[in-house]
Amino acid sequence: MALLVSMLKRILFFFFLFCCLFSFNACLLNPIVRDLLFPEKDPSSKSLLGLLALTVNTNTRVELNHSWAGVRKGESLQLEASYFMYGSKVDSTFQWSSSNPSVATVDANGFVQSIGNGKVYITATSADGRAGASSDITVYTGYVYASLDTSNLVGHLTMNHTTGVLTPTGTIYVGLSTGPTGIAADPSGKYLFTGDFYGGTISQFLINQTTGVLTANSTPTAPAGIQPRNIVITPDGRYLYLASQGTMAIRAYAINANGTLTFINSYSTSNLQTQIQISRNGNFIFYLSSAQTELVSYRINYSDGTLTQAGVSPAFTNTGSDNVATHPNGNFLYVGSYPDLTILRLDPETGSMNFVDSVNHAKSINGSAIHPSGLFYYLIHMIEGIIACYTIDPITGKIAYASAVTGYSTTSLRFMVIDPTGRFAYVADNGGDLLQFSINQITGELTLIGSVDPGGVQWNLIFL
């Protein structure tokens, strides 16, 4: 009898411990409680309590009907969530939240209403607080801006939401012999900037929120060193970084409330590298090393916009190509090296990089783009007039050749942008009209749907 009582006590003990773990885990996922237990950490902290909670939580998950989406400004999207426990779907209500209500809001039923341009995460958390999932949503207007370097203009086009066809809606003069090449807009869609290769300036424009028309800012330009090229802007729209080719430096600027720029600092690279890239989480800037056989990451200090070198990739073969693309999941970098494309795994917290794979292509590379689904990668082979499509394994980051479109002007193809819905792609052609494609959502294959003259030959594009 005593043995039986002892066994019952042990069973009851473990039963109550199990219940407490479940209750604690639900409590832990409450943001307020979590911040108290793990200040500046998440539930995956290696503390004992965090590990216990994480162990319990591996058997629950939330799935959304859209893990990503592009929503045109002013339009809406219905998100639906499902809750799974131990592999079986169970009934649950959800708490919905928006990471940025100025971009999009969400109601108690998962109905998303877009408000303004930008990126937003809509999150559904199960009623017991034990699991959640987020949808990565981009709100867009459907405007394409092209830097027309030989015409000293910026062209503005508007996309037909159904067909993807662009209609030219005007140009704006940048300045005599400026040669605008690099182009970028702040995430809210209020300001646009061009790197003026021959002018040694960054041109500053205001974007009409109703029509998309550009006007010169009150201070039209900012000094940009010698031969400024590519531009990137942080996800919060506070800082701009420029690849200054002739100065061989990365130049950092603060974006003021009126859309003008204030110079912060210049960081020597000892390299004529013309392109610059930013990580998906906005923590790092990427730039090829002086020998162009390594990628260097720089951490962004968000208190003042300054940069500090964070990591250097393993060396890879490269003889002049200079393009870097980032995967939507933030874990992989694709370096347009020659003769092999180089894939690196990025630690999004430290900026360190490790080798994943290399894929031989033996062609020139100028631009590249990754589909918002993260399933397709496109390479612009400038000299050969080819746009190649590769499929991506988002778990490993590795790619496999899938298809190509060929026969375009040699030495002319430059850069590519994809609309946030993933249905259409646009390629700048420095020898002719802007190219327009539809995208097969299953295979990633491109189909030409026409070309359009934006007011001159194009160097670079941005989709807003």
Residues with Cβ < 8 Å from 116, sequence gap 6 or more?
A: 73, 102, 103, 139, 188, 189
**pLDDT value of position 314:** 95
**pLDDT value of position 338:** 86
Q: What is the pLDDT of residues 402-437, one digit of tens each?
A: 999 998 877 899 999 999 999 999 999 999 999 999
Alpha-carbon span 297 to 3, nearest angstrom: 64
**How much is the average pLDDT of 167-193?**
96
**pLDDT value of position 447:** 98
**How much is the average pLDDT of 371-381?**
97
pLDDT-derived band at 359 (thresholds 50, 70, 90) equals: very high
| Structural contact between residues 435 and 429, judged by C-beta atoms closer than 8 angstroms | yes
Alpha-carbon span 288 to 318, nearest angstrom: 10
Task: Tell the CATH topology of 61-138.
Answer: Immunoglobulin-like (2.60.40)
**pLDDT value of position 58:** 62
**How much is the average pLDDT of 329-351?**
95
**How much is the average pLDDT of 172-198?**
96
Overall CATH class of domain 139-463: mainly beta
126/17: higher pLDDT: 126
Nearest alpha carbon to residue 388 among 446, 349, 433, 340 = 446
**pLDDT value of position 335:** 94
**pLDDT value of position 219:** 97
pLDDT-derived band at 90 (thresholds 50, 70, 90) equals: very high
- Would the pLDDT of 20 be above 70? no
Q: What is the pLDDT of residues 272-327, one digit of tens each?
A: 777 899 999 999 999 987 668 899 999 999 999 999 999 999 999 887 666 899 99
User: Where do the structural domains in the chain lie, given as residue ranges?
Assistant: 61-138, 139-463
- Would the pLDDT of 257 be above 80? yes
**pLDDT value of position 410:** 78
DSSP, collapsed to helix, strand or coil, labels residue 97 as strand
Q: What is the pLDDT of residues 377-387, one digit of tens each?
A: 999 998 899 99
**pLDDT value of position 274:** 79
| Structural contact between residues 387 and 380, judged by C-beta atoms closer than 8 angstroms | yes
Alpha-carbon span 393 to 186, nearest angstrom: 30
pLDDT-derived band at 244 (thresholds 50, 70, 90) equals: very high
DSSP, collapsed to helix, strand or coil, labels residue 149 as helix
Q: How far apart are the first and last CA of the chain?
A: 76
- Would the pLDDT of 19 be above 60? no
- Would the pLDDT of 162 be above 80? yes
218/290: higher pLDDT: 218
As a whole-number percent, the residues of the chain with pLDDT over 70 amount to 86
Residues with Cβ < 8 Å from 64, sequence gap 6 or more?
A: 79, 80, 81, 82, 124, 133, 134, 135
Burial category of 404 from C-beta neighbours within 10 Å (exposed 0-12, middle 13-18, buried 19 and up): middle
pTM of the model: 0.86
Q: What is the pLDDT of residues 24-81, one digit of tens each?
A: 444 434 433 333 333 333 333 333 333 334 334 568 999 999 999 999 999 999 999 9
**How much is the average pLDDT of 352-373?**
94
Strand partners, 193: 184, 204
